[in-house]
Structure 1
Amino acid sequence: MANCYLVSLIVISILVLIPSSSSSANNIVVVDDTIIDAFIQCLGKQSRPLSYPISDVIYKPTNSSFQELLDNRIYNLRYQQSTTRKPLLIVAPKSELNVPAVVTCARANGLKIKTRSGGHDFEGISYTAPFPFILLDLVNLNNVEIDINDETAWVQSGATLGQIYYRIAEKSPVHAFPAGVCPTVGAGGHFSGGGYGALMRKYGLSVDNIVDARVVDANGKILDREAMGEDFFWAIRGGGGSSFGVILAWKLRLVRVPPTVTVFNVDKDVNTPGVNHILYKWQNIAHKLPKDLLVRAESSVCPTTSGNLSIKASFISMFLGDRESLLEIMDKSFPELGITREDCKEMTWIDSAMFWHHIPQGTPREILLNYDIKHPLYRKIKGDFIKTPIPEAALPKIWEKIMQTGVVYMEWTPFGGRMDEIDESAVPFAHRKGNSFMIFYDLLWVEDGMDEFYLNKAKELYEFMGQFASDSPREAVLNYVDLDIGSSWEKYFKGNFPKLVMVKTRVDPTNFFSHEQSIPTLYMLLDNTDFKKGYNGLLRLPV
């Protein structure tokens, strides 16, 4: 995130105090202690191995580490308040072999679980709930095993992208993995939602490069790809793993990158004549550039030298090649941007991963192993897909709407390349050919007690952008989970939703793994008359 974005919040909200913690007022739902005790006793009997006793990783609300562990992977102040429902217990296993006991003991005692890997679902789905629950925190399951000879890696769900990238680079300067640019994102949720990043035009999504997984199913069994079957394996790669089980680990197929890649990051003020034309040109060519090149457009609200606010457009690149080759492509395809030799920086892939997250050049790579910089902010995110260019004349209206909304950050990530070559049904992530780019909206604020105001502002901006976005349906991004879209699952999955329902019905017929937008079973849909009226054609349900 650009520094000016954070500065803008300070400019807008001078003298606003942000509480550092809400630990003094835990909103803990009372459940009969005998049920909790029975759950803990069950864990003690069923968990293994002895080298990792489960009693060491059970945290009750009275435990001094409870609140610290809960807050450790929360990135949205909206869900870090005294009114936020807290888990009954936190269980943070240090061995995969202890996870089946958590599932079986919860089911046996009528308890629900929520599973958290990185905590970057900004709707709090992985660590809050409208019902009493146990938090299964995978923070300690963060091992990354690289096999360079086989060009694969096994990564546990609690590992962050920063840890994965560091371990890959530790073994090889010419291998990488296509995933996100934020180093604190957890592998569990990122990959099960699809996973995308700076290498997507060359290699597709994260899930396009995952070849195996270990999952605990609703019966408390650990399954790999062979044991779970191809449909189950298909569903967890982009269909949201938390609907189907607990993802313990993923096996990644590493990809090749050159020893030297080239990046640039140039800024333009949208009020400068010609900048909107550059953005319009970007929309027409970014998804048509060579696969080895991705140029993302970003916009952020920034303070000017006069103390006012303006919108800065940034263009950031990842090119799998040297400076001269990149300059040749840019001069031929996008001369309007005016990229110079000085703008282009050659570096290794791992250093480019740090560059993309705006980590200062020269920072030791080891920061990726424990990147714990957090910004105490309230936020609401949304996503969109754009199929045809937004008219140049409409861009000033978008900037005007953003200035009326608040501190809004947007990412425009181009598709094309490898994304056009993979069929919509290959994995549940169905947003492929035909999309020019994807939009990420992030509205931030620091004022306490203003959630309703800003959430309405976010909805207004989203409604305004609807005239430019995909329709029938207006597609949404599972990695940008948005509770505002309700149970319109087809927005996330399009025509892949019926298959997800069938897989869910087979592997979790009692809907043990559930949350606000989890995949429903067929039995649930058959009981929902309103749903049947709207979707009987899609699912071929009797009305």
Structure 2
Amino acid sequence: MAEALILGPADPAYADTVRALNRRFTGKPDEVHRVYDTGQVVAAVARAVRTGRRIAVRGGGHCYEGFVADPEVSLLLDPSGLASVEWDAARGAFAIGAGATLGAVYRALFKNWGVTVPGGSCHSVGVGGHFTGGGYGVLSRRHGLTVDHLHAVEVVVVGADGQVRAVVATDDPADPHHDLWWAHTGGGGGTFGVVTRFWLRSGGTSPETALPAPPAEVWLHAVTWPWASLDRDGFDRLLDNFGSWHERHAASDDPYAGLAAALLVPTRAAAGISLRTTMDATAPDAEQLLRAFVAEVGAGVTPAGPMTRDSGKIAALPEAAAPRRLRWQWANQLAAGSDLGLRAKYKSAFLRRGFTPAQRAAIRASLEYAHPDAQLQLDSFGGAINDVAPEATAYPHRDSVLKAQWQVYWADPADDDRHLAWIRSSYRAVFADRGGVPVADAQLDGCYVNYPDVDLSDPDWNTSATSWTELYFGANYARLQQVKAHWDPTDTFRHAQSVRLP
């Protein structure tokens, strides 16, 4: 096993290690510890505690906010050396290092055992943050969230006496560490300790059955409704059709459980509204179901054309006006994502029902913005995700049908204020009757902790009576606070939106 490597600002590898995907944030820690085993993590955390250094962990670098790049962080852990994907026969589960990326996990699981996890589409995302926040992807309507397959987790924690140790917590309710496992099923990263390893299992005790197998083949379909062809009625109908379809097909036993779609709604500076769909090609009547879905979404709207290839961050899949049937592993690779070196801001909401007329009007008005790399993205939700009780995992959003994400990307720091003002005002306008945020009710259900947004903590942008903690965690927050008090009583692991001590 390699020895831990400690980097300082003068080392050539330092700059790439502290740089985040979102170029708005770059950390300046005194030390970066690249670790290769749990013992080295224990030693690094003990060093931070002993010397009074603030500590944070950077996995794939995809944190949407500056939590890891906080100027107060002076010791940064780089877990990229903890990247193994192995079958652990003793536990009957897959052991996955917390420094692995999603792409590496997908490749190893499928190539060696023919299985997968229902994680996200961007392959450079680190599993450490992705898994602990819930983990969602195109297979989630069929197979649930990644945390629904979490069997155990190894965490380096700090006791009230300052002693540092590694603990393994499992899904067994009789495990005295069970509450620590539960907190990592959606409680978010950077709160309770340093995760070093996950064990995943949801099926049998052999590697070929322990996790779900992906479909052998999928249909891909992508089309665009050009802005020139969309009047106000067409715009409203398109969003309403997409929302109402998902309301009707949210059950896990629905014939469409194998379908995942994204409706990409960019500003008018882009080409138009695009629909990107993946469908399990092995399901009965899959192609007919796919074509019927596309027809229902576009019903009453000017016919769409091939999905265009806009430049910039908001890019489309290859044109697929006619469905394309591909092997799953090839389709999975098409949406692998890349680091384009841009600045960005994101916001989110869960929808139990589609947007109201007033919300659609606010969205439509916000799209009169002369910047092509800004959009609202609506993703399919529901299915097997909603078969789990909201209190069974720390992740509480178990009855939504859509996940909404506002995004804006740009390159020049001089444009920060302009683009931040657009996304903040656009989001607030949609939820104006709720204090500017998606307060849970019959239609909405808060925000996704894996899409952190510091504005939810800012009274200038969240004027509701609902705190950011409730928007992320719902009724589960009080239990998360108790876990925090037990496992991190000194608040060693913290950031701007980590779980607070009671």
The TM-score with structure 1 as length reference comes to: 0.75
Amino acid at match of 1:93: V
CA displacement, residues 199-235 of structure 1 (integer Å, 9 cap, x when unaligned): 1111111111111111111142121125761111000
Contact 2:279 2:290 in 1 (8 A): no
Show structure 1 runs of 4+ deviating over 6 A: 147-151, 338-342
Match in the other structure for 2:477: 497
Is 1:196 aligned to residue 136 of structure 2?
yes
Q: Cα–Cα, structure 1 residues 449 and 331, in superposed 2: closer, same or farther, change >3 Å?
A: closer
Match in the other structure for 1:69: 17
Question: How many angstroms does 1:310 deviate by?
Answer: 3.6
Which whole-Å CA distance do the structure 2 matches of 1:399 and 1:148 have between them? 54
Q: Cα–Cα, structure 1 residues 206 and 330, in superposed 2: closer, same or farther, change >3 Å?
A: same
Match in the other structure for 1:536: none
Match in the other structure for 1:176: 116
Is 1:463 aligned to residue 432 of structure 2?
no
Task: Report % sequence identity.
Answer: 25
Match in the other structure for 2:107: 166
The TM-score with structure 2 as length reference comes to: 0.81
Amino acid at match of 1:134: L
CA displacement, residues 241-274 of structure 1 (integer Å, 9 cap, x when unaligned): 3100001111123212332222212222244244
CA displacement, residues 297-345 of structure 1 (integer Å, 9 cap, x when unaligned): 122347xxxxxx2452222222223498223224555524489996222
Match in the other structure for 1:351: 330
Q: Cα–Cα, structure 1 residues 245 and 315, in superposed 2: closer, same or farther, change >3 Å?
A: same
Structure with max Cα Rg: 1
Amino acid at match of 1:157: A
CA displacement, residues 93-141 of structure 1 (integer Å, 9 cap, x when unaligned): 1222211011112111211211111111121212x12425200111221
CA displacement, residues 53-82 of structure 1 (integer Å, 9 cap, x when unaligned): 33xx001122233223323xx1112113xx
Contact 1:294 1:317 in 2 (8 A): yes
Contact 1:58 1:89 in 2 (8 A): yes
Is 1:508 aligned to residue 488 of structure 2?
yes
Amino acid at match of 2:23: L
Question: How many angstroms does 1:507 deviate by?
Answer: 0.8
Question: How many angstroms does 1:405 deviate by?
Answer: 7.1
Match in the other structure for 1:268: 225
Contact 2:239 2:355 in 1 (8 A): no
Contact 2:153 2:169 in 1 (8 A): yes
Larger CA deviation: 469-478 vs 486-495:
469-478
Match in the other structure for 2:252: none
Question: How many angstroms does 1:92 deviate by?
Answer: 0.6
TM-align CA RMSD? 2.7
Match in the other structure for 1:18: none
Question: How many angstroms does 1:502 deviate by?
Answer: 0.5
Q: Show the 5 A alignment for 1:10-159.
A: 51-54=1-4, 57-71=5-19, 74-80=20-26, 86-126=28-68, 128-146=69-87, 152-159=93-100
Which whole-Å CA distance do the structure 1 matches of 2:3 and 2:270 have between them? 55
Please give the secondary structure, in 2, of the residue aligned with 1:346: strand
Contact 1:261 1:346 in 2 (8 A): yes
Please give the secondary structure, in 2, of the residue aligned with 1:118: coil
State how many pairs are aligned: 441
Amino acid at match of 1:480: Y
Which whole-Å CA distance do the structure 1 matches of 2:270 and 2:15 have between them? 39
Please give the secondary structure, in 2, of the residue aligned with 1:139: helix
Question: Structure 1 stretches of 5 or more lacking a match?
Answer: 1-50, 303-308, 359-372, 523-543
Match in the other structure for 1:288: 248
Larger CA deviation: 408-417 vs 114-123:
408-417
Which whole-Å CA distance do the structure 1 matches of 2:276 and 2:335 have between them? 8
Which whole-Å CA distance do the structure 2 matches of 1:239 and 1:480 have between them? 13
Which whole-Å CA distance do the structure 2 matches of 1:295 and 1:436 have between them? 12
Match in the other structure for 1:480: 451
Match in the other structure for 2:344: 379
Indicate which of 157, 161, 165 corresponds to 1:217. 157
Which whole-Å CA distance do the structure 1 matches of 2:73 and 2:187 have between them? 25
CA displacement, residues 159-191 of structure 1 (integer Å, 9 cap, x when unaligned): 111111111221244x22100000110000001
- Higher normalized helix content (fraction of residues): 1
Please give the secondary structure, in 2, of the residue aligned with 1:256: coil
Q: Show the 5 A alignment for 1:241-320.
A: 241-253=189-201, 254-273=211-230, 274=234, 276-289=236-249, 290-301=256-267, 309-320=269-280
Question: How many angstroms does 1:287 deviate by?
Answer: 4.5
Which whole-Å CA distance do the structure 1 matches of 2:468 and 2:84 have between them? 36
Which whole-Å CA distance do the structure 2 matches of 1:142 and 1:323 have between them? 34
Which whole-Å CA distance do the structure 1 matches of 2:278 and 2:92 have between them? 22
Is 1:418 aligned to residue 368 of structure 2?
no
Contact 2:216 2:282 in 1 (8 A): no
Which whole-Å CA distance do the structure 2 matches of 1:327 and 1:150 have between them? 40
Please give the secondary structure, in 1, of the residue aligned with 2:24: helix
Contact 1:288 1:417 in 2 (8 A): no
Q: Cα–Cα, structure 1 residues 194 and 446, in superposed 2: closer, same or farther, change >3 Å?
A: same
Is 1:440 aligned to residue 405 of structure 2?
yes
Is 1:402 aligned to residue 374 of structure 2?
no
Which whole-Å CA distance do the structure 2 matches of 1:68 and 1:498 have between them? 38
Match in the other structure for 1:16: none
Which whole-Å CA distance do the structure 2 matches of 1:105 and 1:331 have between them? 58
Amino acid at match of 1:262: W
CA displacement, residues 453-490 of structure 1 (integer Å, 9 cap, x when unaligned): 32222210110121587424861111101111126211
Which whole-Å CA distance do the structure 1 matches of 2:223 and 2:90 have between them? 38
Contact 1:323 1:345 in 2 (8 A): no
Contact 1:91 1:137 in 2 (8 A): yes
Amino acid at match of 2:168: D
Which whole-Å CA distance do the structure 1 matches of 2:451 and 2:123 have between them? 16
Which whole-Å CA distance do the structure 2 matches of 1:424 and 1:399 have between them? 33
Amino acid at match of 1:312: G
Which whole-Å CA distance do the structure 1 matches of 2:181 and 2:73 have between them? 29
Question: How many angstroms does 1:450 deviate by?
Answer: 2.8
Contact 2:359 2:430 in 1 (8 A): no
Contact 1:112 1:134 in 2 (8 A): yes
